Structure 1
C-alpha cells in the first residue's frame, strides 16, 4: 500500500509549505499530495482554501492576487503560534514558510534522489475555469511529466476538470474524488474505465455499501484522509492501493511493520 503525505507532513508542519514536503520526503513517503490554485498573474500555487484567512491571517482571495503579493505572507506561523515564546524551539527558516509554487514543488520532487509520486488536486469552482488544467499540463510537460510514465496524477471533485485533463494529457492518471456516497452510482457510469476512484475515509466508514461496491468494481482505490489504525484496517480490508495521510510517518510504520 502506498502512503502519500497529505499537503506534506501536515500533522506536524504547516500544510503546503516547502518544509512540510521536505519532511515528507525525508521520512520516506511514497508520494506527496497538494492542492493547486491559479494566481491573478498565472502561477499555480499550493493553497487549499480560496482565501488566506486560515493559513496566512489575511482576507485576500488567491485568484485575485499576484504571486509577489502572496510571497509577502507567512504561511507557516499559524501552525505553531507560540513558537517565539518557546526558548527551546528550533529556529525556523522563513523561506520554508513562504507560499509554495507548484513549479518549486515539482523541482523538489525531481531532485529527491528517488521516485516520489505527486497527487495534484485542482480546486473548483474558480474564475479561471479550464485554464487551471491547461496551465497544469503545460507545466508538467516542461518536466517531461505529461505522459503515461509520469510520477504525477491529477485529482479533482470536478468531473469536468478531469475530462479536460483527459483531453490535454490522456496518459496521465486521473483520480475522481468522491465526498458523497450517493454520487457513486452516477459517477461510475460517467468516468473513464481506467480512472482511479478517490473516496473519503468518512464516507467509507459511514456507508459500508459504498465500500463494498468500490471493492467489487475492480477499480484502483485511493483514500483520503487516513490517520488512524482503524481507518487503515478498513482500507486494507478493501484492497486499497493508496492512502493519503496527514501522518505519513505513522502510517508508513504501520504499513511496513
Structure 2
C-alpha cells in the first residue's frame, strides 16, 4: 500500500511555516503533497497563513483580515525561525504568499503533487473565503469533479476545514470525494477560559475545533466528505471508528505525524495519507526500519 506524505504548512520543521521557502523545500524534497492554510486579506486576496492574526509568526501584530496584501508583504514572516533562507528560495519580503502565488510556484516547478487547502474559520468574511478560494482555483483550470489543476493537470487539489458548514458549502460545487473534514478533541472549558480572558478570536477558533468532532462525525456518516482528517492522538483514542470509516472506503489524511512510531501505526491500520512537518525525513526513517 502506497502512503502519501503531505508537508504540513510546507516543510515547516526546516523553514518558517506557510512560506515560500517551506513550500519549495517540500517540493524539492519530493513530498507527495503540500498542505496550506488560507485567510482573506482586507482587500479580498486569499492569503496562505495559519493563524487569524500575524502575531505568532511575524514582526507585527493584528488580524490577517485587517491588512492588505501589500501591508502583509512588508512584514517579516521568516525570522521567528533562526535559520537562513537560501537565496534561491527568495528574500524575506518574498516569503508570504497569496494562494495565486503558491499555485504559480507549483505550476512553474511542474511537479505532480497534491495541494491540500485548509479553509480557516471563523472568518470575518464568512463563505466569501470559500468563494474566493474557488475563484483562484478556477484560474488554474481546477476541475471540481476530479480535483486536477495546473497547466498540465499535475496538481491534485483537495479542500479541508474543521468547520462543517464550510465543507457543506463547498459540497455544493465540489466533489465530496475531494473534501476533508478535519477533527480534533477540544475541552469546552478552554473556549470558556479564552472568552473570560477577552481572547475572543482564539475562543472562536477553538469553538470551531470543538464542534468539529460531533458535527464532523455526523457529516462524514452522512457521506458529506470523502476524506477524514483527525489528528493522530484522536485516531489512537478512536481507532475502532477510524477503522470503520476506512472499511467503508473513506480516505484518511492524519496530522501532524512526525514520529516514525505514529506513522507506522497509521500505515499498519491502512491510512494512506500522512501530514508531517518533516515528510522527507519521516519517509526515510520508515524506509530504514
TM-score (norm 1): 0.89
Aligned length: 250
Correspondence 1:128 to 2:125: yes
Which residue number corresponds to residue 47 of structure 1? 49
DSSP 3-state at the match of 2:218? helix
Q: Which shifted more, 226-235 or 215-224?
A: 215-224
1:28 is matched with which residue: 27, 30, 33?
Answer: 30
Which residue number corresponds to residue 146 of structure 1? 143
Residue deviations 1:80-138 (CA, integer Å, cap 9, x gap): 18x6xxxxx97784247532111010011112222111000000111111101111111
1:214 is displaced (CA, Å) by: 3.3
Correspondence 1:155 to 2:160: yes
Contact 2:13 2:277 in 1 (8 A): yes
Which residue number corresponds to residue 108 of structure 1? 105
Q: Which shifted more, 71-80 or 109-118?
A: 109-118
The 4+ residue runs of structure 1 with deviation greater than 4 A are 89-93
Correspondence 1:176 to 2:181: yes
1:254 is displaced (CA, Å) by: 3.8
Which residue number corresponds to residue 64 of structure 1? 66
DSSP 3-state at the match of 1:144? coil
Which residue number corresponds to residue 222 of structure 2? 190
DSSP 3-state at the match of 1:79? coil
Alpha-carbon distance in structure 2 between the residues aligned to 1:80 and 1:97: 17
Residue deviations 1:215-242 (CA, integer Å, cap 9, x gap): 4333111111110011101111221110
DSSP 3-state at the match of 1:10? coil
Residue deviations 1:47-87 (CA, integer Å, cap 9, x gap): 10011110003221001111111111010000118x6xxxx
Which residue number corresponds to residue 14 of structure 2? 12
Segments of structure 1 that go 5 or more residues without pairing to the other structure are 84-88
Segments of structure 2 that go 5 or more residues without pairing to the other structure are 149-155, 186-211
Which residue number corresponds to residue 201 of structure 1? 232
Alpha-carbon distance in structure 2 between the residues aligned to 1:145 and 1:256: 34
Contact 1:3 1:243 in 2 (8 A): yes
